[in-house]
Amino acid sequence: MILLAPMEGLLDFVLRDILTRVGGVDRCVSEFIRVTDMLLPDRVFTRIVPELRNGGRTPAGVPVRAQLLGSDPVCLAENAAKLAALGPAGIDLNFGCPAKGVNAHRGGAVLLDEPELIARIVAAVRRAVPRDMPVSAKMRLGYNDSSRALECALAIAGGGADEMVVHARTKADGYRPPAYWERIQELRAAVGIPVIANGEIWNVEDALRCRALSGCDALMLGRGMVADPGLALAIRERGHGMRADAADPFVTWQALLPLVADFWQIVGAHIAPHHHAGRLKQWLNFLRRRYPQAQDAFAAIRAINDPALVTRQLFAHTPVVEDRTLLAA
């Protein structure tokens, strides 16, 4: 199983749409919906997870679990119940976000120093949603260190979660390599629920080593999939004994370029205008890790912020399919 990770400010509904069109992804998790001290209106849920208007699936048909972030078990449970009524593919809980602003408001990875609270949150959400609605959680190995990783994993499982993702670094590690995939093995052996490995998987070889060291067959891909949209397909091909040459992207630039154009169209339709060029540059910046052509495209628009000029520079002769995103209408 291969999951597409949430990444605040990067891997949102726009990239979920585009990357799941490429294929190889079994399930997605949305960016976090912040819960503080109130019951959120439906429009907040559907703004962050517009797939709720499509049966909890991307336009390509891939299920999306909606992720909640917060520290109040009662408020999280009440919002989870309301969210569950909108029909996501499941409810996910965020115990891994390393952002300073989030942690300062007692959300995300900072809760890894409070495994007892984690257990209460998971249990409250599990009780609040229908039994057939999956509840999962994502954690890191710890906040400043990994000394309480096992306690947190047991808290998630003991609270009634059906599944957990482990990002194999602490909050203090941030996104610096390496990821400590071998530490996941210990957690997986201790809990009685499926565990998915996450962190620093950029290519097929990384995926194979992660599986070997963590003992997890299931993987969650984040930045690696943003940089190489064919990564999930390449991992699947290698898993079936077929050759997946790590030197060449599984999806060619010629095949990807129309999807980059579709991405640009969706951004233009649904994202604030002053963010248009920045969103495209952000993705091209990742893509140039795998595609020399993306480096050329990035250089061509690096100093351009006018959307019309960007379109003329990159997409004037590129076919764009009809906008199938879920915010239309």
**What pLDDT sits at residue 327?**
46
Residue 299 DSSP SS3: helix
Percent over 70 (pLDDT), the chain? 94
Contact (Cβ atoms closer than 8 angstroms) between residue 224 and residue 198: no
146-195 pLDDT, tens per residue? 999 999 999 999 999 999 999 999 999 999 999 999 999 999 999 999 99
What pLDDT band is residue 328 in, cutting at 50, 70 and 90? very low
What are the residue ranges spanned by the domains of the chain? Answer: 2-239, 253-315
113-129 pLDDT, tens per residue? 999 999 999 999 999 99
For residues 122-139, give the mean pLDDT.
98
9-42 pLDDT, tens per residue? 899 999 999 999 999 999 999 999 999 989 999 9
**DSSP state for residue 217 in the 8-state scheme:** S
316: tokens are 């004037």
186-234 pLDDT, tens per residue? 999 999 999 999 999 999 999 999 999 999 999 999 999 999 999 999 9
Q: Can you name the CATH fold of 2-239?
A: TIM Barrel (3.20.20)
97 classed as catalytic:
yes
Q: Which of 97, 152, 210, 216 is catalytic?
A: 97
Q: Looking at 49-180, list the stretches that DSSP marks H as alpha helix, in order from N- to C-terminal side.
A: 73-84, 100-104, 115-128, 149-158
Taken in order 205, 146, 26, 192, the sign of the CA dihedral is: positive
What does the alpha-carbon distance between residue 92 and residue 163 come to, in Å, rounded to a whole number? 9
Tokens 């979660």, residue located: 161
What does the alpha-carbon distance between residue 219 and residue 1 come to, in Å, rounded to a whole number? 6
Contact (Cβ atoms closer than 8 angstroms) between residue 80 and residue 129: yes
46: tokens are 């559907």
pLDDT above 80 for 319: no
